[in-house]
Amino acid sequence: MALSSISTTTTATASVFISFLLLLVPTSFCSNNGLNFKSDVPQSDADLLEFPLNLEYLEAELFLWASLGRGLDNVAPDLTMGGPPPVGARKANLDPFTNDVILQFAYQEVGHLRAIKSRVQGFPRPLLNLSAEAFGEVMNSAFGRALNPPFNPYANELNFLLASYVVPYVGLTGYVGANPKLQTPPAKRLVAGLLAVESGQDAVIRGLLYKRASEKVNPYGITVAEFTNRVSELRNKLGSSGVKDEGLEVPNLQGAEGKIRGNVLAGDRNSLGFDRTPEEILRIVYGSGNERIPGGFYPKGADGRIAKSHLQSP
């Protein structure tokens, strides 16, 4: 009897004390005036958290413009930090269902930008080339010839889904690659949360495309599956670090457990997500195969310490 009442008192005292500590926490964080969030993340974590802002900016703008016909300057101008507006982004011709999904992705990306910037200082939106021509070039490179007419991502929902196949997946592999290099729990938690939703987006895009895998993309007479296979092969080539990308149809041996041709999700021999380094990602999104040579979606290059360290060496 006596013992249990002592322990109840102790617990009560402890919880009062903890509540008191919790009350103090917000105050002490605010008093640091913006620098607080950097204190729990070492520089190497900050660099790895900052790098994906490049891709999150691209995805936010692409999805916002395609579904709303407006971008970050309209939806969340504070997040651009004064960076230039994207070139060539526009409303895509989407059916209501696809538009709804892409708009959800768009707002998710806005949240991702805000989440990263609440942890690290970040940088202004880099110049992004989201023109139909920029996507057209990716498809031309993927097929090794000029598609005629040029591929237009904004023309209809199938084209837009194929264009979307090009982007979030690259970010996803970057989060898998960053995770083992992170030192602190807050950074790991953030990357896990970003990875979860980016892979969800990739899964939705792949799922919608997989349903139409054998459909021919107009007017090319090339199937949806072939488009995804070519884009994945291109990314493997540009990344130049082996196979880290797979289209919607693979040889049986490359499918899950080496047993199946359908490949609604990409994964390694144990169906684990592939990882990519920031350098591999830059080679891909620059379209140059070289982290020192900007281009593609980033005419002036990506930002942040990692990307800039490559741009500065001539």
CB 51 within 8 A of CB 306: yes
Nearer to ligand NAG, 163 or 182 (CB): 163
Site string for ligand NAG, 110-129 (x = CB under 6 A): -------------------x
Select from 306, 297, 290, 311 the least CA-distant residue to 125: 297
Q: Is 134 in the site for ligand NAG (CB under 6 A)?
A: yes
Q: How far apart are CA 259 and CA 251, in angstroms?
A: 9
Out of 111, 124, 262, 299, name the contact with ligand NAG by CB under 6 A. 299
Shortest reach from residue 138's CB to ligand NAG, in Å: 9
Q: Is 83 in the site for ligand NAG (CB under 6 A)?
A: no
Shortest reach from residue 88's CB to ligand NAG, in Å: 6
Q: Is 137 in the site for ligand NAG (CB under 6 A)?
A: yes
Q: How far apart are CA 128 and CA 167, in angstroms?
A: 13
CB 195 within 8 A of CB 49: no
Q: Is 87 in the site for ligand NAG (CB under 6 A)?
A: yes
For helices 224-239 and 132-143, what crossing angle results, to 10°? 90
Nearer to ligand NAG, 44 or 131 (CB): 131
Q: How many residues bind ligand NAG (CB under 6 A)?
A: 7
Strand partners, 14: none
Q: Is 133 in the site for ligand NAG (CB under 6 A)?
A: yes
Q: How far apart are CA 209 and CA 217, in angstroms?
A: 11
Which residues contact ligand NAG (rule: CB under 6 A)?
Answer: 87, 129, 131, 133-134, 137, 299
